């Protein structure tokens, strides 16, 4: 199987994130993707290839142009206002109920209007890494459209929390949504299966009102897990998209038997949808020793999951 990967992700190396009431060393760091790449090489799973370059058109099919412009220049604007060079850009205030969004003007206002958490720093290399991650997903999608049966896009930063005009959850551009839209624009019927520990709120939001892309997610119940405000079982889509969004939230401590049971309705719904292409948001933070998650899957469970899918 071909793997597409770009070393540009190494430039996105956040220092810290604010979580659980404290400022901590960043969790989503280059080592996570590098371990995956090294394992692919060690196990000789197939060639690791550089992605192609794509213009912005496929990204604008999913993301707001002004939002993309913000991401492109956010770090430079931050550095202009805070020139000491020791901090990454993080939002510190948000336009909650009764307040106005400000997507023009000072960088603090833009960060609060476009970002939704305190765990997604924008660093010197964030935009370049996010843009190349989108190229990586698009190259994989194009390879599938040309007839390849299966491809792995090793993308970092991840993407499934990024919405049409929001970043957060370590995500800046929604790679899987960009790839799904790219395939849809080429006449292919796409379904997205998200197996990350956290609900893919961004992917859900992008396709929530549509019936041409199915979104199915198995994740930790948002009653206790990030992103807290999205991913409940009663969120089934709206308008034309009603019935084309399926959330299967699970409790803390979930082990393989219960996770496997959740796969049954997930895969059944996908089979009923009969897609031409299945895109899997392969979050591995359901692992029993993941530092920010509370599921208990073991290494061998991912082989079982793969066979089932």
Q: What is the DSSP string of 155-200?
A: -SS--TT-BTTBBBTTBSS-HHHHHHHHHHTTT--EEEEE-SSS--
pLDDT at 172: 98
Give the tokens for residue 237. 């889509």
User: Are residues 225 and 117 located together in one domain of the fold?
Assistant: no
Domain termination site, one of 187, 212, 244: 187
Neighbours of 223 (CB within 10 A): 10
Is position 20 annotated as part of the catalytic site? no
With 0-12 / 13-18 / 19 or more C-beta atoms within 10 angstroms meaning exposed / middle / buried, residue 208 is: buried
Q: Please count the structural domains in the chain.
A: 2
164: containing domain? 1-187
Q: Same domain for 198 and 140? A: no
Evaluated on CA atoms 95, 176, 59, 121, the torsion sign reads: positive
Per the DSSP assignment, residues forming a β-bridge with 153 are 4
Q: Write the DSSP symbol of residue 297.
A: B
Kindly report the CA angle at 268 between 265 and 273, in degrees rounded to 5? 125
Contact 156, 33 (CB under 8 A): yes
- pLDDT tens-digit map of 253-291: 999 999 999 999 999 999 999 999 999 999 999 999 998
CA angle 150, 152, 153 (to 5 degrees): 135
Residue 274: per-residue pLDDT? 98
Read off the pLDDT of residues 17-68 as tens digits, 9 standing for 90 and up.
Answer: 988 889 899 999 999 999 999 999 999 999 999 999 999 999 999 999 999 9
Contact assessment for residue 132 and residue 175, using Cβ atoms and an 8 Å cutoff? no
Instruction: Give the residue from 124, 155, 187 where a domain finishes.
Output: 187
CATH number at residue 111: 3.40.800.20
Do 204 and 284 fall into the same domain? yes
Query: Alpha-carbon distance 284 to 218, whole Å?
Result: 12
pLDDT recorded at residue 86 = 82
DSSP letter at 57 equals: H
User: Would you say residue 155 has pLDDT above 90?
Assistant: yes
Q: Which of 172, 187, 202 is the last residue of a domain?
A: 187
Same domain, 162 and 220: no
Whether 136 and 251 map to the same domain: the answer is no
Mark whether 142 and 235 lie in a shared domain: no
User: Are 83 and 225 in a shared domain?
Assistant: no
Residue 89 binned pLDDT confidence (cut-offs 50, 70, 90):
very high
Range name among 67-81, 84-98, 133-147 with the lowest pLDDT average? 84-98
Answer yes or no: do 113 and 254 share one domain: no
pTM of the model: 0.97
Residues in CB range of 246: below 8 A, 6 or more apart: 214, 215, 216, 217, 236, 265, 266, 269
Both structure tokens of 112: 């609060």
Mean pLDDT across the chain: 97
User: Smallest Cα–Cα separation from 231: which of 189, 282, 196?
Assistant: 196
Residues 79 and 58 in one domain: yes
Vertex 7, ends 112 and 156: CA angle to 5°? 40
Question: 202 and 110 share a domain?
Answer: no
Give the number of residues written for the chain.
Answer: 309
Q: Catalytic residue among 9, 160, 161, 198, which?
A: 161
pLDDT of residue 71: 98
pLDDT at 18: 87
The Cα–Cα gap between 32 and 136 comes to: 17
Q: Are residues 46 and 183 in the same domain?
A: yes
In this structure, the answer to whether residues 8 and 86 fall within a common structural domain is: yes
Could you count the other beta carbons within 10 Å of the beta carbon of residue 20? 7
Geometric angle at alpha carbon 227, from 170 and 203, rounded to 5°: 70
Query: Are 295 and 283 in contact, with CB atoms under 8 Å apart?
Result: no
């Amino acid at each position: 199987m071909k793997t597409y990967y770009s070393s540009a992700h190494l430039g996105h190396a956040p220092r810290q994130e604010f979580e659980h009431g404290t400022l901590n060393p960043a969790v989503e760091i280059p080592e996570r993707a590098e371990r995956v790449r090294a394992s692919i090489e060690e196990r000789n799973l197939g060639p690791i290839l550089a992605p192609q370059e794509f213009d912005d058109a496929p990204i604008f099919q999913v993301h707001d142009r002004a939002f993309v412009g913000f991401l492109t220049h956010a770090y430079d604007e931050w550095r202009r206002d805070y020139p000491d060079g020791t901090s990454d850009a993080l939002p510190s205030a948000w336009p909650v109920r009764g307040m106005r969004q400000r997507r023009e003007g000072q960088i603090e206002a833009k960060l609060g209007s476009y970002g939704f958490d305190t765990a997604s720093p924008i660093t010197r290399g964030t935009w370049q890494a996010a843009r190349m991650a989108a190229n990586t997903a698009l190259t994989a999608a194009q390879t599938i459209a040309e007839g390849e049966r299966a491809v792995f896009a090793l993308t970092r930063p991840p993407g499934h929390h990024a919405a049409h005009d929001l970043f957060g959850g370590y995500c800046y551009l929604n790679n899987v949504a960009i790839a799904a839209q790219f395939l849809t624009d080429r006449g292919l019927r796409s379904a997205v299966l998200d197996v990350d520990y956290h609900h893919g709120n961004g992917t859900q939001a992008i396709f929530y009102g549509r019936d041409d892309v199915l979104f199915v997610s198995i994740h930790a119940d948002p009653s206790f897990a990030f992103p807290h405000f999205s991913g409940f079982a009663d969120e089934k889509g709206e308008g034309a998209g009603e019935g084309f969004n399926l959330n299967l939230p699970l409790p803390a401590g979930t082990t393989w038997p219960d996770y496997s049971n959740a796969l049954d309705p997930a895969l059944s719904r996908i089979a009923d949808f009969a897609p031409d292409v299945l895109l899997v948001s392969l979050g591995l933070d359901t692992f029993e020793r993941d530092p920010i998650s509370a599921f208990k899957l073991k290494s061998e469970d991912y082989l079982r999951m793969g066979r089932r899918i």
